[in-house]
Chains A and B, each alone.
Chain A
Amino acid sequence: MAGKDDVKVLGVVVSPFAIRVRIALNMKGVSYEYMEEDLTNKSELLLSSNPIHKKVPVLIHGGKPICESLVIVQYVDEVFPGAAVLPSDPYDRAVARFWAAYVDDKMFPPMVAFLLAVTEEERAAKAEETLAAMAQLEKAFGECSGGKPFFGGDSIGYVDLALGSNLQWLETSYQMFGVALLDAVKTPLLTAWAKRFVEADAAKGVVPDTALAVEFCKKLRAR
């Protein structure tokens, strides 16, 4: 029987959307039950908790489901005390929301298209698109961090979660296709930031080994 305060996360280990939720919970020191979903055989719980999209992640808090990763992260930030994920100033919050949306709308889709591309041409085109997005994010990092280690300043914030949860996929692009979408020459600030992100306490054990992402990608490509 679900306790009033029980927290469950339905996710997939390599999903950036699930990863960001789990890191947010770690930042707040919230313990949760994690359930790994097989997306080819979705659980009853997933289908009933997210009937509209049938996607991960889903956070179930005291029996009530919350869906859509950025909605969940904001919920976690507002409900649980501890390290703030979003800044307190409304303007800074708007900037953070802008860049998190940018990651999901402009970086993630071409990156996925790159990983799943069938032809060399498509792969080249999608690499270019992804790199253009990364170049924007490099600039954004300069503006948001103000010289500090993270987009969020001294510690991980909203944009760090949005982008950092994709690192295993950026690494996969290099391991599988020899293309560095996170390029040390083109985006030096982000390259240094990425190392700090995966070393952060809240991210440890959540950002998966690239090997898992590579395996997942191979399976998807085979379908």
Chain B
Amino acid sequence: MAGGGENKLKLLGMWTSPFALRVKLALSFKGLSYEYVEEDLRNKSELLLSSNPVHKKVPVLIHNGKPICESQIIVQYIDETFPGADASLLPSDPYERAVARFWAAYIDDKLLKSWLQASMGKTEEEKAEALKETFAAVANLEAAFKECSKGKPFFGGDTVGYLDVTLGGLVSWMHAGEALYGMRLFDATRSPLLDAWVDRFGSLDAAKAVLPDAGRLAEYAKKRQAEQAAAAAAN
């Protein structure tokens, strides 16, 4: 369906945000056109503050003037509103849908949380503990990939599905993390299926169209770390 007055889509995002990236991926895989607004999170736009007054965060999808917030909710909204010619992102079977939603929650609540803590933790101990938890989460996700993909290339099977998009938001950060810390989140020994999935997903045209450059992300992360260190030293 072409964009016109009837189906105006606007996405408020920030180029380094894996959550905004998920929404871009969903829109890309659905072949939907939209207006993208890059937010400066240190100087949030009126539109962002009025569209997401509760959390004041990106991403926000504005569809015909109505805002939808929270990346996983937005992706499901896109899937339900724009069924499209291709397979939907969420599986059609209710049990498989429940499994997909379970692992999507796991990716944010367990994997992402420990991974962030492993690099941002305040003490070496905290970071080491978080790293252990991260690898435990990776092992669980590797098993989940096996279960969901059933031998096919994606969590969604033959085509990209909800979990591919959910995890896909983290792909460029995975590469940036490797450049920054020499640590590969999914490596060939610990999680061979996910390791292969990262390259496979990243090489899809619809993904390439929106994935940010990992080198730029790594530079951005270094800059932010330097700023934070300077601020901490000043206090």
Residues on A facing B (Cβ under 8 Å)? 52, 61, 64, 66-68, 70-72, 74-75, 78-79, 90-91, 93-94, 97-98, 101-102, 136
By the criterion CB–CB under 8 Å, are A101 and B73 in contact? yes
By the criterion CB–CB under 8 Å, are B102 and A94 in contact? no
Bitwise, B69-85 to A at CB < 8 A (1) or not (0) is 11001101100110000
Q: Which chain A residue lies CB-closest to B74?
A: A94
Q: Which chain A residue lies CB-closest to B69?
A: A98
7 A-B interface contacts by CB (under 8 A): A52-B140, A64-B95, A72-B98, A90-B77, A91-B77, A98-B68, A136-B54
Q: How far is the CA of A52 from the CA of B97 in the complex (A)?
A: 18
Q: How far is the CA of A68 from the CA of B101 in the complex (A)?
A: 9
By the criterion CB–CB under 8 Å, are B98 and A66 in contact? yes
Q: Which chain A residue lies CB-closest to B68?
A: A94
Across the interface, A98 reaches (CB within 8 A) one of B73, B102, B140, namely: B73
By the criterion CB–CB under 8 Å, are B94 and A97 in contact? no
By the criterion CB–CB under 8 Å, are A90 and B80 in contact? yes
Q: How far is the CA of A212 from the CA of B140 in the complex (A)?
A: 36
**Whole-angstrom distance from the CB of B100 to the nearest CB of chain A?**
9
Q: How far is the CA of A98 from the CA of B59 in the complex (A)?
A: 13
Q: How far is the CA of A94 from the CA of B81 in the complex (A)?
A: 11
B95 contacts across to A, CB distance below 8 A:
61, 64, 66, 75
**Whole-angstrom distance from the CB of B224 to the nearest CB of chain A?**
25
By the criterion CB–CB under 8 Å, are B73 and A78 in contact? no
Residues on B facing A (Cβ under 8 Å)? 54, 63, 66, 68-70, 73-74, 76-77, 80-81, 94-95, 97-98, 101-102, 105-106, 140
Main secondary structure of the interface of A (DSSP, over half): helix
Q: Which chain B residue lies CB-closest to A140?
A: B54
B102 contacts across to A, CB distance below 8 A:
66-68, 71
B69 contacts across to A, CB distance below 8 A:
98
A79 contacts across to B, CB distance below 8 A:
94
Q: How far is the CA of A78 from the CA of B81 in the complex (A)?
A: 17
By the criterion CB–CB under 8 Å, are A52 and B106 in contact? yes
By the criterion CB–CB under 8 Å, are B105 and A78 in contact? no
Q: How far is the CA of A97 from the CA of B76 in the complex (A)?
A: 10
**Whole-angstrom distance from the CB of A120 to the nearest CB of chain B?**
27
B105 contacts across to A, CB distance below 8 A:
68, 71
B74 contacts across to A, CB distance below 8 A:
94
By the criterion CB–CB under 8 Å, are B98 and A98 in contact? no
By the criterion CB–CB under 8 Å, are B97 and A75 in contact? yes
